Amino acid sequence: MTLTQKILAAHVSGKKQLSAGDMIMADIDLVLGNDITSPVAINEFEKAGCCNVFDCGKIAMVMDHFTPNKDIKAAEQTKKVREFARGKNINNFFDVGEMGVEHALLPEKGLVTAGDIVIGADSHTCTYGALGAFSTGVGSTDMAAGMAYGKAWFKVPTAIKFNFHNKLNKWVSGKDVILHIIGKIGVDGALYQSMEYGGEVKNLTIDDRLCICNMAIEAGAKNGIFSVDDVTLKFLSECGAKQPKIYNADGDGDYQKIYDIDLAQIQSTVAFPHLPENAKTFDEFGDIEIQQVVIGSCTNGRLSDLRVAAEILKGRKVHKNVRAIVIPATQKIYLDALNEGLLTIFIEAGCAVSTPTCGPCLGGHMGILAEGERCVATTNRNFVGRMGHPKSEVYLASPEVAAASCLTGKITSPQTL
């Protein structure tokens, strides 16, 4: 069995062996919802006549997309979730002042560990595969069933294996790796498959891995997952996660394709509008002027992302034609960045620094684009109208590229500064 199949089998009563295509009902370790998807799930939960959640400690609700509330509708949505969370005694409810962008917050809080099954009513729930968990996005109806019964149904996926070799060069990070991979296989290149990562994973940080797994869905994958190593175990221990359960793929696991990825050959990469598969390196395009830069999101709003951006911006000024927005992904990251002096660097450079929010990533608030404007973003999607006007453009890039582009007013390689 593949790594994913091993974890799924361990969560199905009476099953020791699974094959791709099997239909299963599996026990789940965590159910996740946010301020957009939770209200829909709550409606379905109540419509089905459910009274109680299956486990108050195994549900997490994070108010991150439109908070602080941007309008009356957002306020009503979060009010509904607050009242439900209080009424059902849900332990892991995170609101303004203590919340963060959900897929950065849950690992930080130790709510996910290796060997878990996690479902979330958000497509980027696949992030937690970085910690050796099977995690995947579901619809709000499945979230409702998960809250009530602690189970979810799956079709067991086939898998693609990616073996990493060597080390990344300076100013190149996990975002460049996943954009390179999606550029190689396409946005449907792993459709309903597990993207399983192995080889010399020790040369990728946990933050690199979280970023890579976060964007598995952008290749159509059911999930992304890394094999567990000492780096994983150290992170889980420091976050206070529960005891991990480590699974390993069999030597004869059924992989549809196997790719060898030489990390040393990966360059700074940018995904052009309007798909993440439109990946280009700097030798493939010329000057492209921009009006906005966003550094943040569940993909690249972690402390390491802010550190590398600050390293590039320190002592420099944001270009006069660029609006630079920096969004730490959690309150802890915000505080750590403050204590390290990173926020001072950003503000002195001319950036706006925001409380944690998903805001601009989905065109919600805190950075909407007007017609004809271009933005370099460390987010994960650049679909038509994703960040505002349907005739605006979003270019996906690493924090290194985003920070360098702040300074020049055009999409810029950090290697050229």
Dist CA 30 CA 314 (whole Å): 40
Question: Which pLDDT score is estimated for 15?
Answer: 82
Dist CA 385 CA 393 (whole Å): 8
Question: Which pLDDT score is estimated for 252?
Answer: 78
Element (H, E) at 257: strand 255-262
Q: Could you report the per-residue pLDDT of 156-196, keeping only the tens digit for each?
A: 999 999 999 999 999 999 999 999 999 999 999 999 999 99
Question: Which pLDDT score is estimated for 46?
Answer: 96
Taking a C-beta distance cutoff of 8 angstroms, is the pair 301, 328 a contact? yes
Question: Which pLDDT score is estimated for 253?
Answer: 79
pLDDT-derived band at 254 (thresholds 50, 70, 90) equals confident
Question: Which pLDDT score is estimated for 67?
Answer: 86
Taking a C-beta distance cutoff of 8 angstroms, is the pair 370, 388 a contact? yes
Beta strand residue intervals within 122-250, DSSP E: 134-137, 151-155, 158-165, 193-199, 223-226
199, burial (CB in 10 Å: exposed 0-12, middle 13-18, buried 19+): middle
Q: Say yes or no to pLDDT of 251 above 90.
A: no
Question: Which pLDDT score is estimated for 334?
Answer: 97
Helices (H), 280-341: 297-300, 303-313, 331-339
Percentage of the chain modeled with pLDDT above 70: 100
Question: Which pLDDT score is estimated for 382?
Answer: 95
User: For the chain, what is the radius of gyration of the CA atoms?
Assistant: 20
What is the distance in angstroms between the CA of the first residue and the CA of the last residue of the chain? 47
Beta strand residue intervals within 22-130, DSSP E: 23-27, 30-34, 59-62, 92-94, 117-120
User: Which residues have C-beta within 8 Å of that of residue 348, sequence separation ≥ 6?
Assistant: none
Instruction: Indicate the DSSP class of residue 162.
Output: E
The structure's pTM equals 0.95
In the chain the domains, ranked by start, together with CATH numbers, are: 3-263 (3.30.499.10), 270-416 (3.30.499.10)
Q: How far is CA 309 from CA 62, 299, 373, 374, 382, in A?
A: 26, 14, 22, 20, 21
Q: Which residue has the tokens 């569940």?
A: 298
Cis peptide bond upstream of 39, omega within 30: no
Dist CA 182 CA 215 (whole Å): 9
Q: Say yes or no to pLDDT of 84 above 90.
A: yes
Instruction: Indicate the DSSP class of residue 195.
Output: E
SS3 282: helix
Retrieve residue 349's tokens: 């450079």
Q: Could you report the per-residue pLDDT of 348-358, keeping only the tens digit for each?
A: 999 999 999 99
Q: Could you report the per-residue pLDDT of 361-403, keeping only the tens digit for each?
A: 999 999 999 999 999 999 999 999 999 999 999 999 999 999 9
Taking a C-beta distance cutoff of 8 angstroms, is the pair 114, 228 a contact? yes
Taking a C-beta distance cutoff of 8 angstroms, is the pair 173, 202 a contact? no
